[in-house]
Amino acid sequence: MTALQPELALVLAAVVLVAAVAAVRLSTRTGLPSLLLYLGLGVLLGEDVIGIPFDDAEVTETVGYAALALILAEGGLTTRWEAIRGSLAPASALATVGTCVSFLVTGVGAWLLLDIDLVTGLLLGAVVASTDSAAVFSVLRTVKLPRRLVGILEAESGLNDAPAILAVLALTAAAAGTSDSPWWVSALMAAGALVVGVGVGVLTGHGGAVVLRRLAVPSSGPFPLAVLAVVGIAYGVAVLVGGSGFIAVYVCALVLGNARLPHGAAIRGFATSLGWLAQIGLFVLLGLLVNPSELPGVLLSALAVTAVLVVLGRPLSVVLSLVWFRVPWRDLAFLSWAGLRGAVPIVLATIPVLADVPGSQQVFNVVFVVVVVSVLLQATTLPLMARLLGVQDEPDSEDMDVESSPLGRLGADLLQFDVHARSRLHGVSVLELRLPQPAHVSLIVRPDGAVVPTPTTTLRHGDSVLVVTTPAVRERVDRRLRAVSEGGRLAGWGTDEPGPGGGRRNR
């Protein structure tokens, strides 16, 4: 591969980034998933079309791992615990048992239908077994689903990368003849890596939250960098002690994202931007790596693998994983169709290529076509499938976002929240908020101007409200505001919630 001049590479990267942002606009107008447009952009830039030479699978794998870590970090930092708490058990079953069922069924199907040996077939099945967090998060932005389904899909896509990677590594070693461990030893090692990864993620997330609260400064600029550094520590520590770095990243980010850290909005905005950048760079790079002239030769094989995966592998994995949780059949049907493939399988397909596994280039090409067909077939029809199965949901009341910023030497925190369109804070007076002392509503910003509130001032839809409080009662203020937003002025009445003036009402 001939290296580009640094200045030319910089200009090209900037042009590609602008084109990728424009692709998002095109995606919203046409309904075509933006991830597919990024892949197409990479293919267009490649050696077979415009002529940029690129065939470095090792660089692709390294960049792919880093991008996947950033995408998982974004998913964890922007996911509310309340949204997935009730779905965590079924999602974990689907991410582990379901991934194994999917790769076994698809691998055996590939072995029977294609001219390959069983180990290569299972390797192909393992590569395409994992759903893609980037694809899932992207599509869920456009489909309104009940919280239970969103929770399962988000948590599954965040957790199932690790089992798939471990399976691909074990089968690659077996196909290359570099492993003499029996399958059950590999399975135990994989299970141990998952447990260690979860443990490291939880411990690093909670420990990082404690440290980050002490490091908080009034400026929001550097704080998201510290959060990202903690997530990076989770990945590195997990890998060093033999755990799964990817599952550690997702769990750590999930803990940090729900730890009510200062500058929450800045953290989520930074994570979202990095997630988009990782998706764009990864998919364009994967498009560059493929040779379009080789794809027609594997088209029928790829369609056969896609049929086995969509018709048998995914539905069986969903049913066998979730039947114990009494999930309604409509939900099972939708989850079976919503197993979107994306960047993860293509990145995993570079592992056997780097290991010089016989037939690995064919596997890579087949996986690329499977991903394209999956995105075209499933992602574009998910809204229609949701309507046909009757699993679309009416808009829920929005989760109120309370942003916190420390006020430095004043020893106080400034909380900011918006009264959104469905919030029951509308019509509630400042006095009826019953905030714990010494919290105080200091300013209400409205479209027609700012208001310095009195106890009788009532909140309205569209208000942005500033509350000054001390760190000691900040969490109680946060809980109280959320409770009133969901339950109205009588939320907590007759319980131990704070009453006017900071007193408490007995039962």
pLDDT digits (tens, 9 = 90+) for 271-288: 888 888 888 888 888 888
pTM attached to this predicted model: 0.72
pLDDT higher than threshold 70 for residue 27: no
Backbone angles phi, psi at 497, to 5 degrees: -70, 155
pLDDT at residue number 183: 62
Task: Please enumerate in sequence order all residues whose Cβ is within 8 A of that of 188, keeping only pairs 6 or more positions apart, or say none.
Answer: none
- CA-nearest of 202, 195, 197 to 259 is 202
What band does 1 get if pLDDT is binned at 50, 70 and 90?
very low
Confirm if 89 and 269 have CB atoms less than 8 A apart: no
d(CA 140, CA 78): 13
Which is more confidently placed, 472 or 227? 227
- Cβ burial of 147 (10 Å; 0-12, 13-18, 19+) is middle
Interval 364-374 mean pLDDT:
90
d(CA 22, CA 337): 29
> What is the Cα gyration radius of the chain?
25
- CA-nearest of 81, 77, 78 to 226 is 77
Lowest mean pLDDT among 94-98, 159-163, 220-224, 495-499: 495-499
CA atoms within 13 A on the CB side of 437: 6
**Tokens for 338?**
């919503």
Distances from the Cα of 27 to the Cαs of 160, 301, 384, 449, 481, in angstroms?
A: 27, 29, 17, 37, 37
What band does 472 get if pLDDT is binned at 50, 70 and 90?
confident
Backbone angles phi, psi at 451, to 5 degrees: -130, 130
What is the dihedral sign for C-alpha 24, 28, 29, 34?
positive
What band does 11 get if pLDDT is binned at 50, 70 and 90?
confident
DSSP reduced 3-state for 398 = coil
Which is more confidently placed, 61 or 197? 197
d(CA 160, CA 176): 24
pLDDT higher than threshold 70 for residue 393: no
What is the dihedral sign for C-alpha 484, 489, 492, 498?
positive
What band does 502 get if pLDDT is binned at 50, 70 and 90?
very low
Quick: pLDDT tens for 303-351: 999 999 999 999 999 999 998 898 889 999 999 998 888 778 888 888 8
pLDDT higher than threshold 90 for residue 21: no
What band does 382 get if pLDDT is binned at 50, 70 and 90?
confident
- CA-nearest of 213, 80, 229 to 155 is 80
Interval 76-86 mean pLDDT:
80
pLDDT at residue number 158: 76
**Tokens for 237?**
């520590």
**Tokens for 213?**
């609260």
Residue entry with tokens 């293919």:
43
Q: How would you classify residue 157: left for phi > 0, otherwise alpha for psi between -120 and 50, otherwise beta?
A: alpha
Percent of the chain exceeding pLDDT 70 equals 87
- DSSP symbol at 394: P
pLDDT higher than threshold 80 for residue 411: no
Quick: pLDDT tens for 113-165: 988 899 999 999 999 988 877 677 666 666 777 878 888 888 888 788 778 88
Interval 4-10 mean pLDDT:
73
pLDDT higher than threshold 80 for residue 7: no
How many helices (H) and strands (E) the chain has is answered by: 21, 5
pLDDT at residue number 233: 96
d(CA 18, CA 437): 49
- CA-nearest of 2, 52, 127, 67 to 291 is 52
pLDDT at residue number 501: 39
- DSSP symbol at 431: G
Interval 48-53 mean pLDDT:
75
What band does 359 get if pLDDT is binned at 50, 70 and 90?
confident
The full set of domains in the chain, from first to last, is: 56-389 (1.20.1530.20), 403-502 (3.30.70.1450)
**How would you classify the pairing of strands 449-451 and 464-469?**
unpaired
Buried/exposed 351-377: b ≥16 CB within 10 Å, e otherwise: bbbeeebebbbbbbbbbbbbbbbbbee
The per-residue pLDDT of the chain, averaged, comes to 82
d(CA 83, CA 67): 25
Q: What are the beta bridge partners of residue 444?
A: 451, 465
Interval 219-238 mean pLDDT:
89
pLDDT at residue number 28: 61
Q: How would you classify residue 405: left for phi > 0, otherwise alpha for psi between -120 and 50, otherwise beta?
A: beta
